[in-house]
Amino acid sequence: MKHIFLAGLSSGAVFVAMFATSASALPPAPTSLNACQKAVKVEGKKFVQNYVKAAATCLENVSTDLVQKNLGTPSTATANACVTQYRKINDTRSLGESLVEKLQARILAKCTPGGSNTHTLQDILGAGAGVPQPLGTENLGSWCAGASLGGSGTITALQAWVDCITAAHTCAARLAFASQYPRALDWLPAVQPAMSGLTPPASDPTKVSDALAGLNADDAAIEGSSNDGRPQLACGGQPLPLKTGQTTCYDSGGAVIPCAGTGQDGEYQAGTPLPSPRFTVNGNGTVTDNLTGLMWLQNANCFGARTWAQALADANGLASGACGLSDGSAAGDWRLPNRHELESLRDLGTFSPVLPAGHPFLNFLNSGYWSSTTHAYYTYEAWNVDFNLGFVFSTSKADIVFVTAVRGGV
């Protein structure tokens, strides 16, 4: 501990001086935020290296038995080595000793607001940030959900970002050792029986079962649904297109028919799985779409019908205190949604309005709404989306159309 001697000051003055010295030693928010970002980089790299090392150590022992020694099955010694290594990957004792626990604890230590971490949650998420350059993690929500990384579709808490980081780095580690060991999908199942035959120590009864669970999870993730012995794992691919919401099938005359074998949208229902709940009401005049991560104005008819230029200005000038907002937003935080963003709200399995059942919007009209997207050929027109029957069409920018606003996604 560093001692500070302040001669000639009373005890109260010394305390005040020491408190001021301690307070002034706290880093400014941008420095604190950058330390959080650096911790993610450093700990993420360390996690992947240690994960690959653990899995590769197990596989190398299997390779020695089967390739070099030409044994029929992995040895007990190899099974023990695999249990030791995979226990590092999966440990249900909650002692903070697994690779995932260490990764998350170290990131949270630098990123959780409070104490010497002087940044705020908003500085991490992006919306309402008090620093010039927030991290903008809220923009990862739909990507984490749609790119095989799990998640609810929105990032509104620090832990949701950390979970996405964990999933992404776990996938990267699996890709690494699966490419290093092309026989991984043969060798991981091959060592399972020998591992299952081991007796865990009385002091650690879940050691073997934890290791087996970790190994089986790697095996399943790498093989995917093909079950043909060939890796199917892909990390962070492009999110699937959104589901349309249509679950019913129709014949050429419009009559409802069974979907099986029709090849219609209602049969396959392809696209990104819809989260439940689809929307979160934030209690401040905003609604978060848990599918896309976008934040919408809850009052969908605050501005009335406007020209396109007026709609752009209305949305860009929106701030807390207007339209029922109490979210702390400032002018410039909101914008007019683009065509695809507006379309993402539609549920094509219904009409009047073409919105998901139980949606929380207020005053959403069965009418057209402006997008910020100009028609590429008729540049004096802009696209709008009709929420009565679901049509998407362009009209003159001088026309009068309804307006809503969105934030995030940029």
Assess whether pLDDT exceeds 60 at residue 147. no
Residues 161-193 pLDDT 10s: 999 899 999 999 999 999 999 999 999 999 999
Of all residues in the chain, the percent with pLDDT exceeding 70 is 88
Q: Taking residues 21-42, what's their average pLDDT?
A: 87
Quote the pLDDT of residue 190.
Answer: 96
On whether the pTM is more than 0.95, the answer is: no
Quote the pLDDT of residue 243.
Answer: 80
Distance CA 138, CA 158 (A): 10
Quote the pLDDT of residue 127.
Answer: 79
Q: In which band, very low, low, confident or very high, does the pLDDT at 89 lie, cut at 50, 70 and 90?
A: very high
Q: Taking residues 102-122, what's their average pLDDT?
A: 96
Assess whether pLDDT exceeds 70 at residue 267. yes
Quote the pLDDT of residue 149.
Answer: 64
Q: What is the mean pLDDT of the chain?
A: 88
Residues 194-250 pLDDT 10s: 999 999 999 999 999 999 999 999 998 888 766 667 787 767 655 567 788 889 999
Q: Taking residues 253-267, what's their average pLDDT?
A: 92
Quote the pLDDT of residue 145.
Answer: 65
For residue 299, the SS3 value is: strand
Residue 348: exposure state from Cβ atoms within 10 A (0-12, 13-18, ≥19): middle
Q: Which of 10-14, 69-73, 93-97, 381-385 has the lowest mean pLDDT?
A: 10-14
Residues 315-336 pLDDT 10s: 999 999 999 999 999 999 999 9
Of 147, 195, 138, which Cα lies nearest the Cα of 168? Answer: 147
Distance CA 51, CA 42 (A): 14
Quote the pLDDT of residue 38.
Answer: 97
Q: What distances in angstroms separate CA 181 from CA 55, 173, 253, one per listed residue?
A: 10, 12, 56
